[in-house]
Structure 1
Amino acid sequence: MYLFIFTLLLVVFQYVNSKNIIKSYDKKYERSLEKNQVYHDTISNLRDEVLALSEFKLDHTEAALSYFEDRGYKVSELIPFIKDEIYELNVMKGEEHPLIPYASMTGGKMLINSIRLLNHKWIIANFSDGKYWGELLIGYEITEDEQLKFKLIDSFLYPTQ
């Protein structure tokens, strides 16, 4: 009789313990599925964002790449060259930047901070003097004698608040 009661208690204990363990594993599994779904959604959103950002970029536009390749330029060398030429305008002597039509209001100099080559004709850039900042739309061309020429198309200085 004692053996039967002891065995029954042991079986009940094992059953309850197993049931709790299974519930715990189920909760962990559900949480991991939820986290996995969140991570999947985040990755999907990041892929969409990267795709959207690459739409207006020279090295992702086949027609713009073909334009330069047809003229015998290596795009992998040309893109850094164009960016370097614009950044070199930042170190020119004088108070005014050759492409930025605004004078600095802080006593410093307006400098181009970042550049994006949109295609084989246009560049968008932002500039700042540390306090005031704006954006530029710059046209560029490579002449027959392989000179790089820039032309300011439009500019915008953000108002201070």
Structure 2
Amino acid sequence: MKSKIFLYLFIFVSLICLYLFVSNGNMVKVKDARIDKLEGQIESLRDSVRDTQLKVLEMQYFSLENNDDALAYYDHLKLEDPSRYIADKLLETNESKGDNPLVPYEGMDSDFKINKIKVLNHKWILTDFSDGKYWGELLIKYELKDDLSVDFTMLDHLLYTRSE
């Protein structure tokens, strides 16, 4: 009788071990499949990040901050951020009453003011202006002088027409 109990116990333990072995094998397959899927997602995310970084570098190509040759013009002025300084000086032109003096159009809904500024290099700025309803762009030539004053000259302009 005792040997039959041990036999049944042995068979029962063997079945449990077999179940655990098969179950663990299936879990390993499922986990490996999930790991492979996640590795594929990580690789696609890496590609996406790389593409985004390349786009950002491409967008920053025409930028004073990334143009060492243009920045060399301002080494003697000891400005920490020449681009921000020039943009601030340009925004000061918005403070005058009425339209911004650099915008060659009269505002239709309100006064035309400069909104966005992109300092391209040591000579040119690209800006966006708007009166809230109508908008346009300006190409501005500027000169930063040794006394830190800035002269702005509008080179070209564009006013978008509204199509409704």
The TM-score by the shorter chain falls in which range?
Answer: 0.7 to 0.9
Which residue in 1 is equivalent to 2:37? 31
Give unpaired runs (5+ residues) of structure 1.
none
Distance 2:18 2:135 in 1: 74
Mean Cα deviation higher: 25-34 or 129-138? 25-34
Mean Cα deviation higher: 39-48 or 74-83? 74-83
Q: What CA RMSD, in Å, does the superposition of the two structures yield over aligned residues?
A: 1.9
Which of 74, 77, 92 is the aligned partner of 1:73?
77
Q: Could you tell me how far 1:160 is from its partner in structure 2?
A: 1.5
Give unpaired runs (5+ residues) of structure 2.
1-6
Which of 54, 60, 70 is the aligned partner of 2:60?
54
Distance 1:145 1:23 in 2: 72
Distance 1:18 1:147 in 2: 75
Which of 97, 100, 103 is the aligned partner of 1:97?
100
- Whether the aligned pair in 2 keeps the contact of 1:89 and 1:98 (CA below 8 Å) is yes
Identical-pair percentage: 36
Which residue in 1 is equivalent to 2:133? 131
Q: Report how many aligned residue pairs link the two structures.
A: 157
TM-score of the pair, normalised by structure 2 = 0.85
Instruction: State the one-letter code of the partner of 1:34.
Output: G
Distance 1:77 1:45, change over 3 A: closer
What SS class does the counterpart of residue 67 from structure 1 fall into?
helix
TM-score of the pair, normalised by structure 1 = 0.86
